[in-house]
Amino acid sequence: MPEPVLPSDIADSPPLAEGQVLAVDGRDFLIVTSDRRKRLGLTVERDGTLTLRAPVGCEAARAEQFVRQSRAWIDSKLLLRGRHRPAHPTREFRDGESFRYLGREYRLLLVDEGRAPVRLAAGRLRMDKVVAAEPARARRDLVAWYTKSGLRWSRGRLQPWAARMEVPEPTVTVRDVGNRWGTYRPGEGDHGTMALHWAVFQLPAHLVDYVIAHELAHTRVSGHGPGYWSLLKRAIPECEARKEELDDLGRRLWLGQVSQQV
Ligand SMILES: [Zn+2]
């Protein structure tokens, strides 16, 4: 292929350097160079930052021109990113604050009953006043409540789902599993361990069931290939719709963020 003929002002501009940040019309682009690359390429990262991949020795002016030509594409990608950005809310530990458990909303009631730090009774989530006064402790005790209640609830669901899917019943734990809702780890013989995120118990029961069934399917098939989905589909025919619902609601779950007290 013949070398493209560049206008002289482009030919004279300095080459881009790996790791450099190129600013174009108020936007920053992280430069990643590669000697295997012939053309320029743009990526909008998950966090909305922009990466410009360029051949080694590519002139800055050529990159700027490319970025300007790609503006409509970048705008549309950023818009989409914004729409899908997680919007996990923050909460305060005050009377009337709402918390969800298995899809239902419960108001927080600060009490002075000298009982458990957190408990659900008479349609209210009751938290000890002393606990509520210390946000870090209140968070810890509330997460512990979700963990304990969620574990108890999921133990009752596991056996019927495992029977329905004809898979062995794993040990189940509830904890913070980071940016996933559940994990499955194979163990000795047929007995693996399923971990569920404490935050999933805010979801409606049919979505927690989806998370449980999703992980149960991993006892037979690891990864998410066609074999995996056909197994899950036999248990939950509408699994694609559930996954979408989970993706949508999951972005808005409370993950333990506490508002700054003033
Ligand atoms: Zn999976």
First to last CA, the chain: 65
Backbone Cα Rg of the chain: 25
Rounded distance between C-alpha atoms, residue 239 and residue 260, angstroms: 38
CA of 113 to the centre of ligand 1 (A): 42
Segments making up each domain of the chain, as ranges: 8-84, 98-250
- H helices of the chain, where? 8-11, 60-69, 71-84, 129-132, 135-165, 205-217, 226-235, 239-250
Position 260 scores a pLDDT of 64
CA of 185 to the centre of ligand 1 (A): 11
CA of 180 to the centre of ligand 1 (A): 9
What element of type H or E holds 12? none
CA of 52 to the centre of ligand 1 (A): 31
- Domain boundaries 98-250, corresponding CATH code: 3.30.2010.10
DSSP conformational letter for 15: B
Residues of the chain with pLDDT below 50 are 1-9, 262
Rounded distance between C-alpha atoms, residue 159 and residue 162, angstroms: 5
pLDDT in tens, 4-25: 444 444 556 889 998 888 999 8
CA of 96 to the centre of ligand 1 (A): 36
> Can you say how many angstroms the Cα of residue 95 is from the centroid of all Cα atoms in its chain?
29
Rounded distance between C-alpha atoms, residue 218 and residue 86, angstroms: 26
pLDDT in tens, 34-82: 988 899 999 887 667 899 999 999 999 999 999 999 999 998 888 877 6
